[in-house]
Structures are given as structure tokens and as C-alpha cells.
Amino acid sequence: MEKKIILSGIKPTGIPTLGNYIGALRNWRLMQQDDNYCYYMVADLHALTVRNVPEELRQQTRSMAALLMACGIDPERSPLFIQSHVHQHAELSWLLGCTTYMGELNRMTQFKDKSAKHADNINAGLYTYPVLMAADILIYGAHQVPVGDDQKQHVELARNIAIRFNNAFGETFVVPEPVMPKFGARIMGLQDPEHKMSKTDTNPNGYISLLDDPAVITKKFKKAVTDCEPTIAYAEGRYGCNNLLTIYCACTGKTMDEAVKDFEGCGYGRLKGAVAEAVIAEIEPVQREYRRILDDREYLDGVLKKGAEQAAERAQKTLDLAFSRVGLR
């Protein structure tokens, strides 16, 4: 049986949050099964769409790669690479850009959000960001793209581009589909549980960074916003409580029913303590492994070099086919 191809990427800007981990990174690890072949990359080209400091980008890119390995990506099994090390992505992106309508890009909610946020730097890269992302996906023939829910629209655009290109030039690309975690796709902020947990939250108590100290994690959960209901339950409108229960389930593997039972007759103090403990148990080993890998320069460089070579081999094949389909060869 042919293996299913999986691809995903993450930008190297900042340290991922617990929300990124539960909604995406953890599933990257879980998808490395025998009937899948996974490619994982650090999307450094995408990071350039906001103003950047070169030395920081360099350092954060390596650090993100180390963190991905620490989260359980096994480079012996799944090529792990840096987007810019595989030059074919940017080339395919040009072809795809010529198959994408401005109307489609105008509808991208991330573009609208980011242009509102960076009103002084609405650059063309920010606008064509989803086209490069489509190239990332289509160049590997990915069947599935595990993403958090904020990237779903971009994967859907990649589907439409693939279908349109195939119709115009003949079968070239696999039509990918987004895969969202069954559970925990949207972990909410701890201070504002009606909005997604975000590392760009101006209040650091609103999010758990994957590299937060255990003591800091405990403190942030203690301060989490909840409500004044007397019981712990998963219920419509109880955003803060639902969010804590969801995090608890995600980190313990329990079902929501089991979780609610665990806290029968308890107050928020107990729940918050237990959630913090579960989160620490899940991410402490990740933190340890991260430090070990980041310290081993030679090993990390070797992994990324090999990953880029493996990726480029596959990418070049698709690029050759696409070039020839449009009449460039």
C-alpha cells in the first residue's frame, strides 16, 4: 500500500504555546505511523512577512527545529528541514501565484487580521503568504496537512489551487486536505477564554509558553479566569472552565466525562492545580530534550542538512513536472 504523505510547518517566530502544542505539534508526533510518511518544516520564509531581526531569525529557526524534535518528531523517520533550505518551494510558489486570484487572497482572514495589526507594513509577502504555503504543501504531494484551525482556510486555498491547476494543465498535484485534531484544536487564552491562546498576547499570563518554568505554569493557571458557578462542568458559555477541562483531557488522555467526574464536588482551586500538574508532566520532558538537542550543534545541523536533502529530492520532481505542464520545459 502506498503511504499517505503528510506535511506541516510552523513559523519560527517566538516560542510555541501550549495551544500550539495541543492543537498541532503533538499531533505531528502522533501522525508518524507506519502508513504515513511525514515531512515537517520550519517556515522561515513565512517569518519574513513581518519585520525581522536577522540574528534573531537565525537563532529562532534552529531553536524551533530543536523544539520540534523535542516534541517527538523523529528525523530518522520523518524529514525535518528548514523551508529556505529547499529552494524549490519559492519557485513553485511563482507558478501557483499565477493560478491564484487576488479575490481569493483578499478573503484570507489571516491577511485581514495581520494587515490590521501591522498597518505600517502591509507588504506583498503578507498578501501572497498563502500561495507560498500552497507550494509547501503541493510540492510534496501531501494528502493531509495537520494544522490548527487558524490555518484551515489556507489549506483549503491550497486545495483550490491544486484543483484549478490540474484542470488547466493536467493531473499534477495531489489535492490535500486539512486535518484538525479531534480535540483541542482551539485552546483558549487563560485571561480571555473567549479568544484563542496566543503567544502575541500582551499579557503573558494569558498563555503558557512551551518553555515556561513549572513554577510559572502553576502560577499562570492559578490566575486563569473562570466564572462564579458552584460546580465544575463542561457547559455552553463557561469558556474558562471548558478550556481548563479541555487542557486537562488533552494532557491526561481522559475523556471529558471522566474529567468532569474527577472534579465532582471540587472548586476551581483543585481543578487549576490538577491542570497545572498535568501540563507540567506533559511538557517537562519536552523542555529537557529541547535543551539537550540545542546544545548538540553538530547533531542538529546534521539532521537539518539531511532533512533538506531528502525534501529537495521529492520537491524537485514535482517542480519539474509542474514546469513542464505549464510549458516551461
Contact region with ligand TRP (CB under 6 A), list: 69-77, 143-151, 273-281, 321-329: 143-151
Catalytic residue among 11, 199, 220, 272: 199
Given candidates 73, 92, 96, 145, which one binds ligand TRP under the rule CB under 6 A?
Answer: 145
Question: β-strand 36-42 against 144-146: which pairing, if any?
Answer: unpaired
Least Å distance, CB 282 to ligand TRP, is 21
Known catalytic residue at 196: yes
Distances (CA, A) of 74 to 37, 44, 59, 174, 178: 12, 20, 21, 25, 22
Q: Which three cell numbers stand for residue 196?
A: 484563542
Residues in a beta bridge with 169: none
Is 172 a binding residue for ligand TRP by CB under 6 A? The answer is: no
Whole-angstrom distance, CA of residue 90 vs CA of residue 86: 8
- # binding residues, ligand TRP (CB under 6 A): 13
Close Cβ partners of 86 (under 8 Å, ≥ 6 residues apart): 41, 308, 311, 312, 315
Interaction residues for ligand TRP, span 4-63 (CB under 6 A): 7-11, 43, 46
Known catalytic residue at 223: no
Question: β-strand 144-146 against 177-179: which pairing, if any?
Answer: parallel
Given candidates 69, 73, 137, 271, which one binds ligand TRP under the rule CB under 6 A?
Answer: 137
Please, is 264 exposed, middle or buried when counting C-beta atoms within 10 Å of its C-beta (0-12, 13-18, 19+)?
Answer: exposed
Interaction residues for ligand TRP, span 116-135 (CB under 6 A): 133
Given candidates 68, 86, 96, 147, which one binds ligand TRP under the rule CB under 6 A?
Answer: 147
Residues in a beta bridge with 36: 4
Question: β-strand 80-82 against 144-146: which pairing, if any?
Answer: unpaired
3-state class (DSSP) for residue 39: strand
Interaction residues for ligand TRP, span 209-228 (CB under 6 A): none
Known catalytic residue at 306: no
Catalytic residue among 3, 117, 196, 220: 196
Least Å distance, CB 157 to ligand TRP, is 11
Least Å distance, CB 204 to ligand TRP, is 21
Catalytically active residues, by annotation: 114, 196, 199
Chain residues in the site for ligand TRP (CB under 6 A): 7-11, 43, 46, 133, 136-137, 145, 147, 151
